[in-house]
Amino acid sequence: MDVLSLLKQQGSARLTEVAEHLGLTRQGALRHLEALQASGLVEVTQAQPSGPGRPVHVYRLTAAAGDAFPSGHRQLAVELVDFMESTELERFFALRAERLEREYAGRLAGLDFKERVRELARLTREGGHMTEVVERTDGSLQLRHCNCPIQDVAALAGHPCRQEQILYERLLGATVARSTWAGSGDTTCTYDITNNTDERKELG
Protein backbone atom coordinates (compact mmCIF):
# COMPACT_ATOMS: atom_id res chain seq x y z
CA MET A 1 0.00 0.00 0.00
CA ASP A 2 2.94 2.36 0.56
CA VAL A 3 3.82 2.24 -3.15
CA LEU A 4 0.20 2.81 -4.19
CA SER A 5 -0.06 5.75 -1.78
CA LEU A 6 3.12 7.31 -3.18
CA LEU A 7 1.89 7.00 -6.76
CA LYS A 8 -1.54 8.38 -5.87
CA GLN A 9 0.03 11.38 -4.14
CA GLN A 10 2.60 12.16 -6.84
CA GLY A 11 0.83 10.91 -9.95
CA SER A 12 3.95 9.04 -11.04
CA ALA A 13 7.39 8.05 -9.74
CA ARG A 14 10.66 6.65 -10.98
CA LEU A 15 12.26 3.53 -9.55
CA THR A 16 14.76 5.55 -7.54
CA GLU A 17 11.96 7.58 -5.92
CA VAL A 18 10.04 4.42 -5.01
CA ALA A 19 13.18 2.84 -3.52
CA GLU A 20 13.87 5.95 -1.41
CA HIS A 21 10.25 6.08 -0.23
CA LEU A 22 10.32 2.42 0.85
CA GLY A 23 13.86 2.52 2.24
CA LEU A 24 14.86 -0.36 -0.05
CA THR A 25 17.44 -1.01 -2.72
CA ARG A 26 16.40 -0.43 -6.33
CA GLN A 27 16.18 -4.19 -6.80
CA GLY A 28 13.93 -4.56 -3.75
CA ALA A 29 11.65 -1.75 -4.92
CA LEU A 30 11.54 -3.27 -8.40
CA ARG A 31 10.20 -6.55 -6.97
CA HIS A 32 7.36 -4.65 -5.30
CA LEU A 33 6.56 -2.79 -8.53
CA GLU A 34 6.64 -5.95 -10.62
CA ALA A 35 4.20 -7.62 -8.21
CA LEU A 36 1.85 -4.63 -8.50
CA GLN A 37 2.17 -4.71 -12.30
CA ALA A 38 1.27 -8.40 -12.29
CA SER A 39 -1.81 -7.55 -10.21
CA GLY A 40 -2.87 -4.91 -12.72
CA LEU A 41 -2.49 -2.02 -10.26
CA VAL A 42 0.61 -0.33 -11.70
CA GLU A 43 1.72 0.40 -15.25
CA VAL A 44 5.13 1.47 -16.51
CA THR A 45 6.11 3.84 -19.32
CA GLN A 46 9.39 5.33 -20.48
CA ALA A 47 10.41 8.96 -20.08
CA GLN A 48 13.41 10.88 -21.28
CA PRO A 49 15.86 11.85 -18.50
CA SER A 50 16.39 15.52 -17.71
CA GLY A 51 20.01 15.21 -18.86
CA PRO A 52 21.93 12.90 -21.16
CA GLY A 53 21.28 9.20 -20.82
CA ARG A 54 18.85 6.46 -21.67
CA PRO A 55 15.08 6.71 -21.10
CA VAL A 56 13.96 5.76 -17.58
CA HIS A 57 10.94 3.83 -16.37
CA VAL A 58 8.11 5.84 -14.83
CA TYR A 59 5.42 4.07 -12.80
CA ARG A 60 1.76 5.11 -12.52
CA LEU A 61 -1.44 3.68 -11.10
CA THR A 62 -3.85 1.97 -13.45
CA ALA A 63 -7.58 2.72 -13.42
CA ALA A 64 -8.10 -0.55 -11.55
CA ALA A 65 -5.94 0.71 -8.66
CA GLY A 66 -8.77 2.98 -7.55
CA ASP A 67 -10.43 -0.06 -5.98
CA ALA A 68 -7.47 -0.38 -3.62
CA PHE A 69 -8.46 2.81 -1.80
CA PRO A 70 -11.49 3.29 0.46
CA SER A 71 -14.43 4.43 -1.67
CA GLY A 72 -17.52 2.40 -0.82
CA HIS A 73 -19.26 5.42 0.72
CA ARG A 74 -19.01 7.60 -2.36
CA GLN A 75 -22.18 6.63 -4.21
CA LEU A 76 -24.25 7.26 -1.10
CA ALA A 77 -22.56 10.63 -0.61
CA VAL A 78 -23.41 11.69 -4.18
CA GLU A 79 -27.04 10.68 -3.68
CA LEU A 80 -27.20 12.76 -0.50
CA VAL A 81 -25.85 15.81 -2.32
CA ASP A 82 -28.49 15.41 -5.02
CA PHE A 83 -31.20 15.14 -2.36
CA MET A 84 -30.22 17.99 -0.02
CA GLU A 85 -30.63 21.72 -0.64
CA SER A 86 -27.47 23.81 -0.91
CA THR A 87 -28.21 25.64 2.34
CA GLU A 88 -28.68 22.31 4.14
CA LEU A 89 -25.34 21.05 2.85
CA GLU A 90 -23.60 24.27 3.91
CA ARG A 91 -25.05 24.00 7.40
CA PHE A 92 -24.17 20.31 7.66
CA PHE A 93 -20.51 20.84 6.80
CA ALA A 94 -20.27 23.94 9.01
CA LEU A 95 -21.53 21.86 11.96
CA ARG A 96 -19.15 19.06 11.01
CA ALA A 97 -16.22 21.52 11.01
CA GLU A 98 -17.26 22.81 14.45
CA ARG A 99 -17.35 19.25 15.80
CA LEU A 100 -13.91 18.48 14.37
CA GLU A 101 -12.53 21.73 15.78
CA ARG A 102 -13.68 20.75 19.29
CA GLU A 103 -12.20 17.28 18.82
CA TYR A 104 -8.86 18.42 17.41
CA ALA A 105 -8.22 21.58 19.43
CA GLY A 106 -7.26 19.77 22.62
CA ARG A 107 -4.81 17.55 20.76
CA LEU A 108 -3.09 20.57 19.19
CA ALA A 109 -2.92 22.62 22.39
CA GLY A 110 0.60 23.43 23.62
CA LEU A 111 2.32 22.51 20.34
CA ASP A 112 4.42 24.94 18.33
CA PHE A 113 3.35 25.86 14.80
CA LYS A 114 5.10 23.07 12.88
CA GLU A 115 4.08 20.49 15.46
CA ARG A 116 0.44 21.64 15.09
CA VAL A 117 0.60 21.24 11.32
CA ARG A 118 2.07 17.75 11.62
CA GLU A 119 -0.41 16.68 14.30
CA LEU A 120 -3.27 18.03 12.19
CA ALA A 121 -2.02 15.94 9.26
CA ARG A 122 -2.01 12.87 11.48
CA LEU A 123 -5.55 13.59 12.67
CA THR A 124 -6.82 13.96 9.11
CA ARG A 125 -5.22 10.62 8.22
CA GLU A 126 -7.28 9.07 11.01
CA GLY A 127 -10.33 10.61 9.32
CA GLY A 128 -9.67 8.95 5.98
CA HIS A 129 -7.41 11.41 4.15
CA MET A 130 -4.00 10.36 2.91
CA THR A 131 -2.20 13.49 4.11
CA GLU A 132 1.41 14.56 3.94
CA VAL A 133 3.15 17.70 5.19
CA VAL A 134 5.34 19.33 2.56
CA GLU A 135 8.04 21.77 3.65
CA ARG A 136 8.81 24.15 0.80
CA THR A 137 12.18 25.69 0.00
CA ASP A 138 11.09 29.03 1.50
CA GLY A 139 10.32 27.29 4.82
CA SER A 140 6.53 27.50 4.45
CA LEU A 141 4.38 24.41 4.86
CA GLN A 142 1.68 22.70 2.86
CA LEU A 143 -0.91 20.12 3.80
CA ARG A 144 -1.43 17.83 0.81
CA HIS A 145 -4.49 15.56 0.80
CA CYS A 146 -4.88 12.52 -1.38
CA ASN A 147 -7.81 10.09 -1.54
CA CYS A 148 -10.21 12.60 0.02
CA PRO A 149 -13.02 10.66 1.74
CA ILE A 150 -15.57 13.27 0.59
CA GLN A 151 -14.10 14.10 -2.83
CA ASP A 152 -17.28 13.41 -4.81
CA VAL A 153 -19.35 15.63 -2.53
CA ALA A 154 -16.70 18.35 -2.67
CA ALA A 155 -16.57 18.26 -6.46
CA LEU A 156 -20.35 18.61 -6.71
CA ALA A 157 -20.94 21.28 -4.08
CA GLY A 158 -17.66 22.75 -2.80
CA HIS A 159 -19.02 23.15 0.74
CA PRO A 160 -16.70 20.62 2.44
CA CYS A 161 -13.56 22.25 1.10
CA ARG A 162 -14.56 25.76 2.16
CA GLN A 163 -15.36 24.57 5.67
CA GLU A 164 -12.18 22.48 5.78
CA GLN A 165 -10.09 25.52 4.86
CA ILE A 166 -11.76 27.65 7.56
CA LEU A 167 -11.28 24.84 10.08
CA TYR A 168 -7.55 24.64 9.37
CA GLU A 169 -7.17 28.41 9.70
CA ARG A 170 -8.83 28.40 13.11
CA LEU A 171 -6.88 25.41 14.41
CA LEU A 172 -3.49 26.63 13.18
CA GLY A 173 -3.95 30.38 13.69
CA ALA A 174 -2.66 30.73 10.14
CA THR A 175 -3.65 31.89 6.69
CA VAL A 176 -4.62 28.85 4.61
CA ALA A 177 -5.04 28.99 0.82
CA ARG A 178 -5.86 26.09 -1.49
CA SER A 179 -3.47 25.80 -4.45
CA THR A 180 -4.62 22.48 -5.97
CA TRP A 181 -8.01 20.79 -5.86
CA ALA A 182 -8.95 17.22 -6.76
CA GLY A 183 -12.40 18.45 -7.77
CA SER A 184 -10.89 20.27 -10.77
CA GLY A 185 -8.83 17.33 -11.97
CA ASP A 186 -5.71 17.61 -9.80
CA THR A 187 -4.44 14.46 -8.11
CA THR A 188 -4.34 16.18 -4.70
CA CYS A 189 -5.93 18.94 -2.64
CA THR A 190 -3.11 21.18 -1.41
CA TYR A 191 -3.40 23.85 1.28
CA ASP A 192 -0.64 26.48 1.52
CA ILE A 193 -0.14 27.57 5.12
CA THR A 194 1.25 30.95 6.19
CA ASN A 195 2.21 31.33 9.84
CA ASN A 196 0.69 34.68 10.85
CA THR A 197 2.75 34.74 14.06
CA ASP A 198 5.96 34.85 12.03
CA GLU A 199 4.57 37.70 9.92
CA ARG A 200 3.75 39.74 13.02
CA LYS A 201 7.29 39.17 14.35
CA GLU A 202 8.79 40.47 11.10
CA LEU A 203 6.56 43.56 11.17
CA GLY A 204 7.53 44.17 14.81
What burial letters (b/e) apply to 155-186, b meaning 16+ CB within 10 Å? bbbbbbbbbbbebbbebbebebebebbbbeee
Q: Considering only CA atoms, which of 80, 93, 91, 66 is closest in space to residue 4? A: 66
Q: What is the pLDDT of residues 166-187, one digit of tens each?
A: 999 999 999 999 998 877 777 7
pLDDT at 49 over 70: no
Q: What is the pLDDT of residues 108-122, one digit of tens each?
A: 999 999 999 999 999
Q: Which domains does the chain have, with CATH numbers?
A: 2-68 (1.10.10.10), 74-203 (3.30.1380)
pTM of the model: 0.59
Q: What is the pLDDT of residues 186-204, one digit of tens each?
A: 778 899 999 876 544 443 4
